[in-house]
Amino acid sequence: MGYRRDPFAPGEYYHVFSRGIDKRQVYIDERDFERFEKLLYLANDEHGQVNLELLKQVSPKELFSLPRKKPLVAIGAYCLMDNHPHIVMREVTDGGISKFMHKVGTGYTSYFNRKYDRIGNLMVKPFRAKHITDDVYLRHVTQYVHLNPAEIFEPGWKKGVVSDMKKLEQNLTMYAHSSLPDYFVSPTSVPRFQKSILNEEVCDMISSELPPLGTILEEAAMYYAELDKEYEPRPRGRLPRRGN
């Protein structure tokens, strides 16, 4: 049975994450990543379910500019890896995070199962969430999320082994399925369509004092070691009684 340690509260920030069942890949090709990103935009609306036909009928440029009536959450950052997503968000409406994640999860699992001829859940349920308690912590967690793809370029980074930090930072800013590129838009570059996933106000607030990636490698590694514990089996039933 799923569990939720703490209820979500409107106005509060959370790092929401999940992973494929048995650590399986949940994004097999580029279209899978792109479908999930489109859902991050379209599902963030109190109004009904996602119109899946729009995903087939309109271009990315048109899709990421479609109007939405009322957002459920304000997204500040995200990163998609081959077997897990990470999203930093603020709950906007009561129950918004749960509704949003349900819409995203249902829409993506339906797409994935049809495409790969499978049935059943795709990701571990329920999704996990870590409460972000203040603005400084929010900016650090945002960079922890952006550091996820470091394992592709520097497999030893969580052990403190990075051969070329400057090159790693360049690679991270070019990783397509993360919001990091949207935080480093130069005056001459063209903003990505996916930037519409982010809440502009939240993005501006986070970017004002975003810590450099190289300064938080060690604490990011410790943070992810802590998150891994979220998937350890929980004891069921009553705890054994202590002796007299």
Q: Residues 208-237: what's their mean pLDDT? A: 86
161 Cβ contact partners less than 8 Å away, ≥ 6 residues apart: 154
- Name residue, tokens 């450099």: 212
- Please say if the pLDDT value at position 237 is more than 70: no
What is residue 138's predicted lDDT score, i.e. its pLDDT? 97
- Please say if the pLDDT value at position 103 is more than 50: yes
Q: Is the dihedral of CA 216, 222, 224, 227 positive or negative?
A: negative
- For residue 195, how far is the Cα from the chain centroid? 14
Q: Residues 26-38: what's their mean pLDDT? A: 96
Summarised one tens digit per residue, pLDDT across range 156-207 is 998 889 999 999 999 999 999 999 999 987 666 788 999 999 999 999 999 9
Residue 131's DSSP bridge partners are: 14
In terms of Cβ atoms closer than 10 Å to its own Cβ (0-12, 13-18, 19+), residue 96 is: buried
What is residue 2's predicted lDDT score, i.e. its pLDDT? 37
Summarised one tens digit per residue, pLDDT across range 49-97 is 777 777 778 888 889 998 888 999 999 999 999 999 999 999 999 999 9
Percentage of the chain exceeding pLDDT 90:
76
Q: What is 13-231's CATH number?
A: 3.30.70.1290
What is residue 51's predicted lDDT score, i.e. its pLDDT? 77
Q: Parse the chain into domains and list their residue ranges.
A: 13-231
Spell out the alpha helix ranges (H) of the chain.
Answer: 30-42, 52-57, 60-63, 96-116, 135-146, 150-153, 165-173, 200-207, 217-228
What is residue 60's predicted lDDT score, i.e. its pLDDT? 84
In terms of Cβ atoms closer than 10 Å to its own Cβ (0-12, 13-18, 19+), residue 171 is: middle
Give the integer Cα–Cα distance in Å for 161 and 132: 28
What is residue 165's predicted lDDT score, i.e. its pLDDT? 93
Please state the pTM of the whole predicted model: 0.90
What is residue 6's predicted lDDT score, i.e. its pLDDT? 58
